[in-house]
Amino acid sequence: MNILRLIFSPTGGTQRAADDLCAPWAAQGLSRRDVDLTDPDGSFDPLPLGDAEGVLIAIPSYGGRVPALAVQRLAHLQGGGAPCVLLCTYGNRAYDDTLLEMADLAAQQGLNVIAAVAAATEHSIVRRFGAGRPDAQDARELAAYGGDVYPLNLYTRWTRDDYGPVWIPAKGATITLTEDNLPIYSRCIEAYEGNTLEQREDGIYINGQKTDTYTFRMDYYWMMGDNRHNSLDSRYWGFVPEDHVVGKPLVVWLSLDKDRGWLDGKIRWSRLFKWVG
């Protein structure tokens, strides 16, 4: 999937916020093309989508409004109904009107706004406001909002806290392929099971043959970490094929109950040194 990023960032803060928001997309191999809306030598008439299948517009709030130069340059955008995410950055004032104006601009240019987010950045004039923003915590929150859950090329509204439902592929199981579920299972079909996969105007092609079904050759697993808000697991990189699982558990050597104290049953004695292999 190709993303067109339209970024207005005179001092660099909005650019950093946009990079944080999009970091998970790059990790999953989504390509992007950036247009610097502040470039004095840039050509913005027209401003076509090209091969982009989605658009990010990132703009700072200037006095609660979209900067006039950004409005002028976005007026040449040819949206073509593409899905669009809005990012508004702010230093020291309300951003609500700016996001509303951005949404109106995007709609006028033929874009379909599917999400919007506001992020704090260092004020461009009074540096003590928002100093050092976006910081590490901002980066984590922007990445979480940016759709860093798998699959990144499908707009699901899933989050790390409210994920799915999702069907896990099993060896010998056959699934009917649709435009809605193809992004979820394409990685299994291509990367793990070695097929070529194309989505053409007249349908789905696997190894050059048109089809609407696929039978999986391996079992897959859904890996979950034990710390929901600080675990990189299948919510972020999807299904794990059986040939990627290395080793197996043998014994439980320690088991703790996080809701109890050390003198109140924290150690689950009945589970210690129990064989599980």
- The CATH number of whichever domain residue 38 belongs to comes to 3.40.50.360
Which has the higher per-residue pLDDT, 273 or 137? 273
Which range is most confident: 129-143, 163-177, 220-234?
A: 163-177
Containing 267, the helix (H) or strand (E) segment is none
Q: Residues 148-154: what's their mean pLDDT?
A: 60
Predicted local confidence at residue 171, as pLDDT? 97
Burial 134-147 (b: 16+ CB within 10 A, else e): beeebbbebbbbbb
Predicted local confidence at residue 169, as pLDDT? 96
CA distance 188 to 277: 27
Do 230 and 256 lie in one domain? The reply is no
pLDDT beyond 60 at 112: yes
Do 13 and 90 lie in one domain? The reply is yes
Do 8 and 108 lie in one domain? The reply is yes
Do 134 and 6 lie in one domain? The reply is yes
Q: Residues 67-76: what's their mean pLDDT?
A: 90
Predicted local confidence at residue 147, as pLDDT? 57
Q: Residues 182-211: what's their mean pLDDT?
A: 90
Q: Which of 145, 166, 182 is the last residue of a domain?
A: 145
Do 271 and 234 lie in one domain? The reply is no
Residue-number span of the structural domain to which 211 is assigned: 151-246
Which among 11, 18, 20, 5 has a CA at the least distance from the CA of 91?
A: 11
Predicted local confidence at residue 168, as pLDDT? 96
Q: Which of 145, 165, 200 is the last residue of a domain?
A: 145
Q: Which of 145, 160, 189 is the last residue of a domain?
A: 145
Do 19 and 132 lie in one domain? The reply is yes
Do 182 and 86 lie in one domain? The reply is no
* Strand bridging mode 112-120 / 83-90: parallel
Predicted local confidence at residue 157, as pLDDT? 66
Do 31 and 141 lie in one domain? The reply is yes
Q: In what order do the strands lie in the sheet with 54-60?
A: 31-36, 2-7, 54-60, 83-90, 112-120
Which three-class secondary structure state does DSSP give residue 22? helix
pLDDT beyond 80 at 94: no
Do 45 and 13 lie in one domain? The reply is yes
Position 160, amino acid: R
What integer best gives the mean pLDDT of the chain?
Answer: 82
Do 236 and 190 lie in one domain? The reply is yes
Do 208 and 137 lie in one domain? The reply is no
Predicted local confidence at residue 277, as pLDDT? 64
CA distance 146 to 140: 10
Containing 174, the helix (H) or strand (E) segment is strand 174-176
* Strand bridging mode 2-7 / 31-36: parallel
